[in-house]
């Protein structure tokens, strides 16, 4: 390939990646240390950065350079992969070998650019400003338990997202929501997800009814307080065991735990601490640590290109849910961790390990998604998916959202919120304007079950390793099969290569039924 064409593309990607990192840092600060009075200025800063990013991404000169680089690749005999179907994702035929790093970076860049060039710069800036304003309004609405304080902002974000979707264009035979999905899970469509969620509900609802009817195990934490500093130190100990490099990342505290990767060598996690619930911080750290390991495992040699990014948000969620649930709620893991928990909190010294394990895996109908167990969790996501579809299809108005939420919780989980803060206002995603994001949590759960099953086959000593606190063999297996590939291939193709299976619920169902069958008292 003529180096001048690639050099132009590479320089453009390097600038775009740097701008992404700067915007990500401002977002992290916005959620951790930003003074309340600085919110308006932060919105202006993010708006300017995102506008500049959009301007550079859509510049005609970059488009010309991409075309020239793609033409040179074809001349060299490289396959011209135009999308996930050609690359073996979403039902396509797998290629013999992964694409070259240059081709993979070009494919990722073109995907992002083709969407961006259709969106006016004015709309990009408006979205950034409204996201910052909505975030402030959401926090105040939660504190006051007043959905009406947030509703106008959600109306505005919904209108802006509709405008964005219409600018990008609905795929043939698809619908508005498909365009939002595509931004998080490339190639995913409502026509595929709706039947999958219906299938999940078909066996999850009766499973929840059966498990929730069992006598609840004793709660070893009830009525006790647990020193937040000791909780904090335990989370850092677990992060270190997982192999998260604290020289290339950090953990802080926030209301809603999250992970942001500025670069594989600068990854920011947050967790939250509750004096009466020490496992909340622990599971948040395991979850965000899984995200963080993925970010740190991305191909650092390509850190200045679009190859150095997760294949999809669903695959990202698979990493967090794998560590949080398939590792963090497993019996072998607690053989190692329980003594350390008891050492920090002597009040737990007499807790029976089997009883503790049952308590950690208690299944109950709860109102809060982030605190729900792994059996009920996807029903929380199913509700949000249903509501988002209704809003995009125009069958659900924002003003009717609280009632629809409460009715849906009653129908799917048999519980009903009494306050907006524990219902429709509990998640931050809509304040960020992240419509289309929620389904990636369920996609991630399904991928996680398949990946863990494959890892168990490949690592016959895995249970023994977990029981001894040796977590690096699992991290290294995930790094080899998932992390290091970045965006070289679509997410489903990476999972298929690692497990022999694409997106399906069979592994997840088998995991839950085997685990909770064995946990019967």
Condensed to tens digits (0 to 9), the pLDDT of residues 50-71 reads 999 999 999 999 999 999 999 9
Average pLDDT over the chain, rounded to whole?
92
Q: Nearest 5°: phi and psi at 271? A: -140, 180
- Which class for 72: exposed (0-12), middle (13-18), buried (19 or more C-beta within 10 A)? middle
Closest CA to 268 of 18, 22, 24, 20: 24
Residue 31 annotated as part of some ligand binding site: no
Distance CA(127)–CA(49), nearest Å, equals 12
Residue 483 annotated as part of some ligand binding site: no
pLDDT higher than 80, residue 91: no
pLDDT tens figures, 310-344? 999 999 999 999 999 999 999 999 999 999 999 99
The 8-class DSSP code of residue 325 comes to I
Active site residue 371: no
Q: What's the confidence (pLDDT) of residue 117?
A: 95
pLDDT tens figures, 250-278? 999 988 889 999 999 999 999 999 999 99
84 versus 119: the higher-pLDDT residue is 119
pLDDT tens figures, 406-451? 999 999 999 999 999 999 999 989 998 999 999 999 999 999 999 9
**Average pLDDT estimate for 155-173:** 96
Residues in the chain: 521
CB 141 within 8 A of CB 149: yes
**Average pLDDT estimate for 496-510:** 97
pLDDT tens figures, 188-220? 999 999 999 999 999 999 999 999 888 888 889
The 8-class DSSP code of residue 468 comes to T
Residue 274 annotated as part of some ligand binding site: no
CB 181 within 8 A of CB 439: yes
Q: Nearest 5°: phi and psi at 468? A: -100, 0
Distance CA(452)–CA(373), nearest Å, equals 18
Of residues 70, 130, 185, 288, which has the active-site annotation? 288
Domains defined for the chain, CATH in brackets: 3-184 (no CATH), 190-518 (1.10.1370.30)
Q: What's the confidence (pLDDT) of residue 162?
A: 96
Distance CA(141)–CA(421), nearest Å, equals 8
3-state SS string for 232-299 = HHHHHHHHHHHCCCCCCEEEEECCCCCEEEEECCEEEEEECCCCCCHHHHHHHHHHHHHHHHHHHHCC
**Which pair of tokens denotes residue 390?**
């209704």
405 pLDDT band, cuts 50/70/90, is very high
């Amino acid at each position: 390939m003529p180096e001048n064409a690639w050099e132009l593309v590479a320089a453009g990607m390097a600038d775009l990646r740097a701008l992404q990192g700067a915007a990500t840092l401002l977002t992290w600060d916005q959620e951790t240390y930003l003074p309340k009075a600085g919110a308006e200025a932060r919105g202006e800063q993010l708006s300017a950065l995102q506008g500049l990013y959009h301007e550079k991404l859509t510049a005609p000169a970059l488009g010309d350079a991409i075309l020239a680089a793609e033409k040179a690749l074809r001349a060299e005999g490289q396959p011209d992969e135009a999308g996930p179907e050609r690359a073996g994702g979403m039902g396509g035929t797998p290629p013999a070998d992964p694409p070259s790093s240059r081709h993979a970076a070009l494919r990722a860049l073109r995907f992002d650019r083709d969407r961006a060039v259709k969106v006016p710069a004015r709309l990009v800036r408006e979205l950034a400003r409204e996201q910052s304003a909505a975030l402030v309004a959401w926090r105040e609405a939660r504190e006051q338990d007043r959905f009406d304080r947030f509703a106008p902002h959600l109306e505005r974000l919904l209108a802006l997202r509709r405008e964005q979707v219409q600018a990008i264009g609905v795929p043939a035979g698809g619908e508005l929501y498909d365009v939002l999905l595509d931004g998080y899970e490339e190639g995913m469509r409502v026509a595929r997800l709706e039947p999958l969620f219906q299938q999940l509900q078909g066996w999850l609802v009766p499973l929840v009814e059966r498990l929730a009817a069992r006598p609840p195990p004793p709660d070893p934490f009830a009525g006790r307080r647990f020193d937040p500093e000791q909780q904090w130190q335990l989370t850092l100990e677990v992060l270190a065991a997982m192999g998260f490099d604290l020289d290339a990342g950090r953990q802080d505290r926030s209301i809603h735990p999250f992970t942001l990767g500025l670069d594989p060598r600068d990854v920011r996690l947050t967790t939250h601490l509750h004096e009466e619930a020490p496992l909340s911080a622990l599971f948040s750290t395991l979850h965000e640590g899984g995200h963080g390991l993925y970010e740190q495992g991305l191909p650092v040699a390509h850190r200045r290109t679009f190859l150095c990014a997760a294949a999809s948000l669903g695959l990202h969620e698979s990493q967090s849910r794998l560590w949080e649930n398939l590792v963090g709620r497993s019996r072998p893991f607690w053989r190692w961790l329980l003594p350390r928990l008891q050492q920090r909190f002597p009040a737990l010294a007499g807790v029976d390990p089997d009883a503790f394990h049952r308590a950690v895996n208690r299944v109950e109908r709860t109102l809060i998604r982030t605190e729900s167990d792994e059996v009920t969790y996807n029903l929380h996501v199913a509700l949000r998916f249903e509501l988002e579809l209704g809003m995009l299809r125009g069958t659900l108005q924002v003003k009717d959202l609280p009632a629809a939420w409460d009715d849906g919780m009653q129908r799917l989980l048999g519980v009903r919120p009494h306050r907006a803060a524990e219902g429709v206002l509990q998640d931050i995603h809509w304040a960020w304007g992240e419509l289309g994001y929620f389904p990636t949590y369920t996609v991630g759960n399904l991928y996680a079950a398949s990946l863990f099953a494959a890892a168990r086959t490949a690592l016959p000593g895995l249970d023994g390793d977990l029981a001894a606190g040796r977590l690096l063999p699992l991290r290294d297996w995930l790094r080899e099969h998932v992390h290091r590939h970045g965006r070289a291939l679509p997410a489903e193709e990476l999972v298929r290569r690692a497990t022999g299976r694409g997106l399906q619920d069979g592994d997840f169902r088998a995991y839950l039924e085997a685990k909770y069958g064995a946990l019967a008292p």
